[in-house]
Chains A and B, each alone.
Chain A
Amino acid sequence: AQKVTQAQTEISVVEKEDVTLDCVYETRDTTYYLFWYKQPPSGELVFLIRRNSFDEQNEISGRYSWNFQKSTSSFNFTITASQVVDSAVYFCALPMNYGGSQGNLIFGKGTKLSVKP
């Protein structure tokens, strides 16, 4: 079965600290994709990144970076020099890869990040 675990329910940091959000996934597939979404206090879900399992290079986008490690089935998300605007719930997601439900996203429970000034 496919599963996504975000063990950190809530994290609180002070502005300018670096913070890493953990994501551990389970899948039997050799080829798969992983996603991160952000849900700010306003409630919408915002796409952050998509990663193919073939590509294990770390991804960097401004203050955001993602570390993908197939050996540990992890796809962790780091925010460098956090800002108050980063306060949100962050979700890691894995698409189902079989049958009629192929493509349906399985979400982790999310990590609520609070960045205090």
Chain B
Amino acid sequence: EAQVTQNPRYLITVTGKKLTVTCSQNMNHEYMSWYRQDPGLGLRQIYYSMNVEVTDKGDVPEGYKVSRKEKRNFPLILESPSPNQTSLYFCASSPRQGVGYGYTFGSGTRLTVV
């Protein structure tokens, strides 16, 4: 089944403890992206990747890192999480960068930083 897999689905952590949210797609998509969703603010893009080893900042990249060493994986790294990073996170992929493809989304990761 074609899908984007995120792990974990739920995570509670403490301020400052480094964490990684994994994202993997099995569709051989070139383009991958991370979004966060917050009440009243909607979905905002954190980082995106056009292909292996090519990443760029989205609208809200502060406090996050990403890497794209393999085509299928695009982990989101929070080096020192803070409470304002409590959010619902989505990974998404698309066949390639372009306006007509749309995204396939993962199931989401609900992160709470205390």
Contact = CB atoms under 8 A, between A and B. Distances in A.
Contacts of A47: 102-105
Nearest to A39: B37
Nearest to B106: A44
B56 A44 contact: no
Interface centre among A32, A33, A46 (most CB of B within 10 A): A33
Given A35-B102, A45-B105, A103 B97 contact: yes
Nearest to B88: A43
Interface in B51-105: 56, 58, 88, 90, 92, 94, 97-105
Interface string A94-107: 01110011111101
B112 interface: no
A1 B104 CA distance: 25
B89 to A, nearest CB: 11
Interface string A57-70: 00000000000000
Task: Say which size band chain A's interface belongs to.
Answer: 20 to 34
A33 B99 contact: yes
Q: Which of the four size classes fits the interface of chain B?
A: 20 to 34
Interface string B40-59: 11110100100000001010
B107 A105 contact: no
A44 B102 contact: no
Given A45-B108, A50-B102, A95-B102, 9 more contacts: A35-B102, A47-B104, A47-B105, A95-B100, A101-B56, A103-B31, A103-B94, A105-B43, A109-B42
A104 B33 contact: yes
B100 A104 contact: no
Contacts of A95: 98-100, 102
Contact of B98 (A102, A108, A110): A102
A43 B88 CA distance: 9
Contacts of B31: 103
